[in-house]
Structure 1
Amino acid sequence: YKISTDIVLRRWISWYNNGKRFKEHKRSERGLAMNKGRKTTREERAEIVAFCIENNKNYTLTVEKYNISYQQIYSWLRKYEINGVEGLIDHRGKSKKQEGLTEADRLRMENKILQAKLKDQEMEIKLLKKLRELRGGGH
């Protein structure tokens, strides 16, 4: 189910077993709580997805930085992985046809996210090299 850590699942189980609802917990009480949604632009969504990818899909850090719910970030990331930048367009509540992204906007957002992915991959390569070094492989 791609839950960020087992601690999150354990916390949910504990809350469930104690008969509490998620919304009764405040962030200060228990780390990651459900946040009320807020409106975002597609550019903000692209920035948030890029930040999350760049930070090795650290949803907790992304929640704290952007004040967006875990579920929303997870949803945007999944939509991006399936449909690219076009998946970040919000079509809810639109009675008239919404203009699509301009090619420049789409490329700008895609570039931001791809840069974050590249940075994440570069960090992973550095970590693997360091691990090999520590194991005495050196090559």
Structure 2
Amino acid sequence: MGRKNKYSKELKLSIVKRYLEGEGSTISLAKEINTAANIVSSWVKKYNAFGESAFDISHTNASYTKNFKKQVVLDYLNGGGSYDDLAIKYHIPSSSPIKNWVKLYNSHIELKDYIPGGEDIYMAKSRKVNKEERIEIVKYCLEHDMDYKTTAKLFETTYANVFNWVKKYKEKGEDGLGDKRGCRKGDEEVDEVTLLKRQLKQKEHELEMAQLELKLLKKLEEIKRRRSIEQANMKLNMKQSKKSAKKR
């Protein structure tokens, strides 16, 4: 099954064309759809490179061999372009996997083949992932409609890890993704400023989760609405066909 898209092709084209026509900056347009300015910038780059086909939905996940990954990594390390530039050059839908491949390569961790439907991701050997990378993995997963399987493949970790990290992030925010070697002080043990910072961070996280839930609910409502329209059109077509048959 192909990767789900958070934003439709039509929306991306609308945002890009408005930007190119001077109707807004990447920052103002990004705020309208609650995303980051760098994402809008990446859409503009893709559109300039491939036109409207840049946003066509792929119904299959791409296969990335270890040799291909190494080629992309070396191209980046040799100054071949930014992550976004290389994503366009090598037809990779997001720059996030390239960032991950570079990290793995620089950490002397072997790059592996990624073939959809290949090795069982549930049994894949886990690797050590620091807090910063966990945050990046979780945010990638959330940005792609919680597609745990694809996220696990792209970042070369296990499905279970991604699932658990997303769950912890939803419950505790970034603090939930830290390692357990250090003991965090309780609220009653910290000063007032630290406590207020914690409370503010928790409120920001709750707001982020509420916005994510709202987006998912809106998407669900849109799917229901489309199905309702399709069913109504089918009934109308059936009635018209019956009327036509009676006239004959």
TM-score, scaled relative to structure 2: 0.34
Matched, 1:39 2:130: yes
Q: Where does the alignment leave 5 or more consecutive residues of structure 1 unmatched?
A: 1-25
Alignment of structure 1 residues 61-80 onto 2, 5 Å: 61-64=150-153, 68-79=157-168
Point out which structure has higher relative CO (alpha carbons under 8 A, 6+ apart).
Answer: 1
Alpha-carbon spacing, 1:92–1:84, altered in 2? closer, same or farther (3 Å): closer
Higher deviation after alignment, 117-126 or 100-109 = 100-109
Equivalent position to 1:129, from 225, 228, 248? 225
SS of corresponding position for 1:113: helix
Verify the 8 A CA contact 1:52 1:62 in the aligned structure 2. yes
Task: Name the % identity.
Answer: 19
Instruction: Report the residue type matching 2:184 in the other structure.
Output: Q
Structure 2 SS opposite 1:111:
helix
The change in CA–CA distance for 1:47 and 1:111 in structure 2 (over 3 A counts) is farther
Q: Identify the residue that residue 75 of structure 2 maps to in structure 1.
A: none
Structure 1 residue 93 and structure 2 residue 184: aligned? no
**Number of the residue aligned with 1:104:** 200
Residues paired across the two proteins, number:
108
Q: What TM-score, normalized to structure 1?
A: 0.55
In 2, the alpha carbon distance for the partners of 1:46 and 1:110 equals 16
After TM superposition, what 4+ stretches of structure 1 lie above 6 angstroms from structure 2?
none
Pick the structure with greater CA Rg. Answer: 2
Q: Which runs of 5+ in 2 are unaligned?
A: 1-111, 187-196, 234-248
More helix by share: 2
Question: What's 2:114 paired with?
Answer: 28
Classify 1:65/1:79 alpha carbon distance in 2 versus 1 (closer, same or farther; 3 Å).
same
Q: Displacement, 1:104?
A: 1.8
